[in-house]
Structure 1
Amino acid sequence: MKRKKNSKKLLKKIKPWIMSVFCCIVVFQNITCITAVKPEFDFLDDLVLVDGIVSTIPGVSYVNLSTSKNLNTPIEDATVWFINTDTDEVVNLDGVSGVYLPPADFVAKEGESWKMGFTLPNGKRYESLSETILKSLPISNPKITYSRELFYSNTDEMFVPGHAIVVDVVDSVDEENYYYWDFRSFEKLRICHECSGGLIFRNGECIDNPQSFTSASFSYACDTDCWNIRYNNRIKIFSDEFSNGIITKGLLIADVPLYTKEDIVVELQQFSLSSSAYEYYKILKDLLENNSNLNAPPPAALIGNMFNPDDADEYVLGRFTATSASKVSLFIDRTNIVEDPIEKRNAIQFETSDLVCPGQNIDCTVLFANCEESRFRTGIEPEGWIE
């Protein structure tokens, strides 16, 4: 009763915070922020925010943990796990900067039921309700078109160029279907590390240059093939409420900004959601796009399916979702694009051969850096890549 009574008051307080947190996507890609509007309400401190997915695609499952303190503070050193509630199998996740990942080869299967849980360093425990993974639906007829004005960026105060991806939704007539689309993109990296202010790259970090006091910047080429991985930061969902059993053609499901002019592979993912998961993402989408207002329904879906088993009155924002997915990899050739990319690249300058090791009369110039396999970088050629 207490939760229901305070829900509208909570929405008033958390709406500006949710706008700021989710408009600055840190988990899914390198930081891409939209300028936040000055909030009208005080922020709530230390609310726990959870964003977790178990998927049938390798490399897609994750958990992101943060708090409302200072808008978006990653929760470090938590103990996080997935549980298969059919078999009691426990999958432990490792985390860096609030992002927790299962083993690289982890996948769930259609028909399985999963939940997640975590314990904070202070001992507080949180759990989710269990969700059953629905049958996946294939991606139909994906098409890519380039636009000089893909969407308007509040940060840059300009229209951003890029590629739009549309698909046909071939809906089944015998069941309700809820769709969610996401993607990650892979672009070839030429430079794997840069040091500025006169620093040089040694043993995996930028250090003082004993031979120089200049403020030059140095670039270090990748020592192997390497791809930068970016993640989507927009919510694209669809319900078959008004199109059950029919084909919806040319539905826009992804905007791929022109961050650079490097060719890319876009791994498009189509998720099958439960009705409760769809309602959660629908409210979140409304908040992000600022179409909602303070007379909107109480944020029950925003609170989602996470809870503190030791404190029934604690609000836990966010959601855990178990979902099947289908995917397709699309190669985009950007050779003939004339518009300027979003990111401005630094001039490439390598170390010169006049650097000698202290106390030794030998050249110790470094020209290369390794690929450093991570969530945002890989040396494994992505599916669909074309040289």
Structure 2
Amino acid sequence: PYNDTDTTPYEQCFASNPFTTSTSGSYYVNDYQCRSQCWEIIPNRDIDVFDDQFSNGGFNSGRRIAQIPFYDASGALVEIRQGSLSLKAYTFFRLLAEQTQNTGGLADTPPSALRGNVYNVSTRKEAVFGYFTVSAVSMIRYWLDRKDARGKPPGLFAALNGRLPSPEGEIDPNTNQRKPVYSGSGLLNSSRVPTAVCVSSDSRTPIKPTGWRD
């Protein structure tokens, strides 16, 4: 694996010819254990807006704010954020949610054109979709232990990748095909099988999140 900005291998993780096999030219996928602890970050893409004109900013209960996927039987740390919106921003995101997340019926009103506050400064004729807004955000973290969950989850790797993990040098559980045996060096001057580096990104982090329970 290489850095995003240059061709420097992470932690000198490089092997010029790591395999010895008689099936040259075949394509294989290898999955590696993480070299360190690594946490997967799964964002919620759903839009959830609420008009508090009747609650007047007071306490509101019984509202579903998220649907957490059951990918793994172990616990998960859920980060809940609540922001404030102007009336125009609320209207925009409410219409967007209605048109993209709700199942339409015969009694539903036809979708209206969404007009945001983002446009091309060079030409106003170009259609640009989006809304820019800034607000204060309240955030809490909730530990979901899943002790009352039912059924058997697929496992985090299989759920995110659509297949079972396939270690190097073993039979691929997805195709039942035997793969080449590792015989090179994962790290320079090392003879062990390489491990995957947990690179900080929007989807994972090697830093233990605040509130995580082992």
Provide TM-score, normalisation by structure 1: 0.41
Distance 2:205 2:95 in 1: 34
Distance 1:208 1:238 in 2: 57
Distance 1:320 1:218 in 2: 42
Equivalent position to 1:211, from 20, 27, 50: 20
Equivalent position to 2:135, from 320, 323, 327: 323
Distance 1:323 1:204 in 2: 45
Name the larger-Rg structure.
2
Report percent identity of matched pairs. 28
Ranges in structure 2 where 5+ consecutive residues have no aligned partner: 6-11, 171-180
What stretches of structure 1 move > 6 A for 4+ residues in a row? Answer: none
Ranges in structure 1 where 5+ consecutive residues have no aligned partner: 1-94, 97-201
Equivalent runs, 1:1-387 vs 2, <5 Å = 203=13, 210-212=19-21, 213=23, 217-244=29-56, 246-288=58-100, 289-291=102-104, 295-297=110-112, 299=113, 302-334=114-146, 337-341=149-153, 343=159, 346-347=164-165, 349-351=167-169, 355-357=182-184, 364-387=191-214
Pair 1:220–1:281, CA change in 2 (3 A): same
Pair 1:311–1:221, CA change in 2 (3 A): same
1:272 touches 1:323 (CA, 8 Å); kept in 2?
yes
| Match of residue 72 from structure 1 | none
Distance 2:71 2:132 in 1: 30
Please tell me the residue identity of whatever aligns with 1:309.
V
Q: Which moved more, 1:377-386 or 1:311-320?
A: 311-320
Shift of 1:348: 5.2
Aligned length: 181
Please tell me the residue identity of whatever aligns with 1:378.
T
Q: Deviations over 1:252-309 (max 9, x none)?
A: 1111111233321111111111111111100101101144867344x2xx23000122
Distance 1:245 1:273 in 2: 13
Distance 2:14 2:48 in 1: 38
1:351 touches 1:366 (CA, 8 Å); kept in 2?
no
Distance 2:57 2:63 in 1: 16
Q: Deviations over 1:81-103 (max 9, x none)?
A: xxxxxxxxxxxxxx99xxxxxxx
Provide TM-score, normalisation by structure 2: 0.70
1:355 touches 1:363 (CA, 8 Å); kept in 2?
no
Larger strand share, 1 or 2: 1
RMSD: 3.4
